[in-house]
Structure formats: C-alpha cells, structure tokens
C-alpha cells in the first residue's frame, strides 16, 4: 500500500514522523510530503521517504509578515504541483491544510483522501477558515480525530457525518525517551532543588498559563517551569508570576526534552480548550504524572489512570490539586505507573498505525466512508 502523509506547513513533524515510521514498520510504502522544518532538527526517517515538495517558495523568517504573505502566494502552485504527485499514492492523508480558505478546491482527486483534524475547530479562526474546513472535510473520504469528544465536535460544529468521523488515538512520543544524544539541563535549572511542575510547549493564550500562575501563589518549596517558544506577549505573565516561577522562552530541541520531563515531578496542562496535545503524549512517554484540565480528550487520559483532572479555569481547584499532589509521592507514583501503562497499551504507535491501515484498506476496497 502506497501512502502519502502530507503536512504542507510542517506544523507537526514529531507526529508526522512517528506515524510514518509506524506505518512503514507495518509494511506500508510511505512518503512524508512536507516542507523543511524551520525551528530545529527532526527525527531521522526510519523506513520511509521524505519529499520536501512544499516550502520552496517561502520567503522571510518564520513568523514574519513576509513569510505569511509568501505562504499565501505559494499555496496554489504548490498544491497544484502536489496534485500530480498524489497520483502515485493509493491513499493521501493530509495532517494539516496550509490555508483551508483556499485549499479545499486544490485537494487531490485521484486517491482516497483522509484528513486528520488535529485542531477540531480553530480557536481564533480567520475569515473564511471555518467554511473552508467544512468544504475540505466534505471532500474527504474520512476524517480522523483523536478523541470521542473531538468526533462529537466535528459532527456538531462542522457538520461532518458520523460515518466519516474515525477516532484513532494520538501516539505516545516514546522515541523521545529513546534518544541517546541527550542534552543536559542548563546549569541554572540543574541546580534547582525541590519539586518541579512543568508547563511545556508553545506558549499560547488558550493554554491557561495565567490560571496556573495564579494557582501557584502560596505554593512554597517547589518551582513552576514554563518552558517553550512564545506565541504571545508574555510580559503580563512574567510580571504577575511569583518568584518561584521560572520561564524558559525558546524552542526546545528534541535532544533537550528528556531532561525536562525526567526532572519534572508533575506535568501541568491547565488548558482552557483543546482536542489533544502533543505535550500530553510526550509526558506519557516519560511516565511523568499529569494534572490536566477537564477539556477535550484529556478526560480519556485521566480515565486510563495517567492523570488527574481539574475544572478548566478554576484557580482554587487547581491550587488545591497542585498542593495535594506535590505533597503525595504515592499519588504521583500511581499516576506515573498509569502513564507508563497507557503509553504501552493504548497509545502505542504500532497500534495507532494498525488502526490507520485498517481505515485505509476499507477506503481502497470501496467499503464506504
């Protein structure tokens, strides 16, 4: 089976490459069609090909106005060029659409088409984006989503028919735990004594970091680390943070990730909204206990025994849960054991790949949507 996994803007290289490697281990002929990743190194291709057929027309630095303008200009020629490549595949599986407002009409028509809805509904949609996604999902033969909550939202908010929604879990990023060439923590971080609670990943408003900082007030003898590249102005966050909140505001390379998660006593994801988060599946890989908001697919992680839940946006509940878990080594150990079991059994990439291949085979065989 010839499969194209397509991520034109290279939004999620860790997910793309883990999925491609698992599909290849299962015997599929896999090509990852994407763009160069602008921020750091990516995992080596294991058993699959990488075709960087997107991104050659981009100009300017990541995040710049020139970059955004060149992306719009590149959308039509790059997607038209890819349509010809897509004829070589038995299944085309888009992970992201670069500009949904334009892209639906440019999607390949020659092969069964699958789209993964990583963000079920855009949090800050641009004009025309929701309508474009509806058209793209209507064009697809199947839409993959990572949680039952996400499937319900696709049907309710974007009108995707239930028989075209397929819940396939996100895999745990266990390849990160297997990295041998690891970078140590910076000396200032390595010198920290006492428990550490880790908020990791791109810093964005919906992630509830203001709630975490407010809940952290009064907690002593521990540090809260907020680690990741900002996608918002963090001046107010830093101004309101107690002294035992530490910010590391930069992109974190894969080889640096193990040191952060192995040092953390607890991973905190106080999101206001989400379907699922790659940070959660990174924590699972390191058996790091988690405290999550009760949004999106997070209750499914808690049901597996890998996390505790608090109501989203509830400062008092979050503060109480943080203090209780920091004081209870046995509770954190139970969550760590649950995380390890979930990574091994529920969120194993080979299981994820098998579910994808089952879907692909059904589509190729004309089994319907």
DSSP 110-172: SS-EEEE-SSSS-SSPPTTHHHHHHHHHHHSSEEEESSHHHHHHHHHHH---GGGEEE-PPPP
CATH number at residue 216: 3.40.50.2000
Residues 164 and 193 in one domain: no
Question: Looking at the domain assignment, is residue 369 inside a domain?
Answer: no
Task: Tell me how far apart the alpha carbons of residues 302 and 307 are, in angstroms, rounded to a whole number.
Answer: 4
Residues 117 and 154 in one domain: yes
Residues 230 and 153 in one domain: no
Mean pLDDT computed over every residue of the chain? 92
User: Which of 18-27, 110-119, 315-324 is predicted with the least confidence, judged by mean pLDDT?
Assistant: 110-119
Residues 308 and 244 in one domain: yes
318-342 burial, b if ≥16 CB within 10 A, otherwise e?
Answer: bbebbbebbeeeeebeebbebbbeb
Question: Does 63 score more than 90 pLDDT?
Answer: no
Kindly report the CA angle at 24 between 21 and 27, in degrees rounded to 5?
155
What is the Cα Rg of the chain in Å?
Answer: 21
Residues 24 and 145 in one domain: yes
Is residue 101 within a helix (H) or strand (E), and if so which, with residue range?
helix 100-103
pLDDT in tens, 308-361: 999 999 999 999 999 999 999 999 999 999 999 999 999 999 999 999 999 999
Residues 100 and 205 in one domain: no
Question: Two tokens at 122?
Answer: 């855009």
Residues 279 and 329 in one domain: yes
Domain hosting residue 192, numbered range: 180-345
pLDDT in tens, 143-162: 999 999 999 999 999 999 99
> Of 122-136, 286-300, 355-369, which one has max mean pLDDT?
286-300
Residues 225 and 247 in one domain: yes
Question: Looking at the domain assignment, is residue 224 inside a domain?
Answer: yes
Residues 121 and 201 in one domain: no
pTM score > 0.75 for this model?
A: yes
Residues 79 and 164 in one domain: yes
In degrees and rounded to multiples of 5, residue 94 shows phi and psi of -80, 130
Residues 17 and 133 in one domain: yes
Residues 242 and 338 in one domain: yes
The total number of structural domains that make up the chain: 2
Find out whether 141 and 113 touch, Cβ atoms under 8 Å: yes
């Amino acid at each position: 089976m010839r499969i194209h996994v397509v991520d034109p803007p290279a939004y999620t290289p860790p997910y793309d490459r883990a999925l491609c490697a698992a599909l290849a281990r299962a015997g599929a002929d896999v090509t990852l069609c994407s763009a160069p990743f602008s921020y750091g190194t990516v995992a080596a291709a294991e058993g699959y090909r990488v075709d960087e057929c997107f991104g050659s027309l981009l100009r300017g630095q990541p995040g710049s106005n020139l970059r955004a303008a060149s992306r719009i200009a590149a959308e039509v020629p790059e997607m038209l060029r890819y349509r010809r490549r897509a004829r070589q595949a038995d299944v085309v599986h888009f992970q992201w659409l670069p500009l949904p407002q334009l892209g639906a009409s440019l999607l390949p028509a020659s092969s069964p088409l699958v789209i993964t809805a990583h963000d079920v509904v855009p949090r800050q949609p641009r004009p025309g984006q929701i309508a474009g996604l509806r058209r793209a999902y209507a064009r697809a033969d199947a839409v993959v989503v990572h949680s039952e909550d996400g499937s319900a939202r696709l049907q309710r908010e974007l009108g995707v028919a239930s028989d075209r929604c397929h819940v396939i879990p996100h895999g745990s990023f266990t390849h990160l735990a297997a990295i041998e060439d690891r970078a140590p923590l910076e000396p200032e971080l390595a010198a920290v004594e006492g428990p550490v609670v880790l908020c990791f990943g791109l810093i964005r408003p919906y992630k509830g970091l203001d709630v975490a900082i407010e809940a952290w007030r009064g907690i002593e003898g521990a540090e809260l680390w907020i680690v990741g590249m900002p996608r918002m102005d963090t001046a107010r966050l830093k101004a309101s943070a107690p002294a035992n909140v530490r910010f590391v505001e930069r992109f974190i390379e894969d080889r640096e990730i193990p040191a952060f998660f192995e040092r953390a006593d607890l991973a905190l994801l106080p999101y206001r909204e989400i379907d699922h988060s790659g940070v959660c599946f990174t924590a699972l890989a390191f058996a790091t206990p988690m405290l999550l908001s009760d949004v999106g697919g997070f209750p499914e992680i808690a049901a597996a025994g890998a996390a505790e839940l608090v109501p989203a946006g509830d400062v008092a509940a979050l503060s109480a849960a943080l203090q209780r878990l920091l004081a209870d080594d046995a509770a954190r150990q139970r969550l760590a054991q649950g995380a390890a079991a979930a990574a091994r059994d529920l969120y194993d990439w080979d299981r994820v790949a098998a579910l994808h291949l089952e879907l692909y085979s059904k589509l190729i065989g004309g089994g319907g949507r």
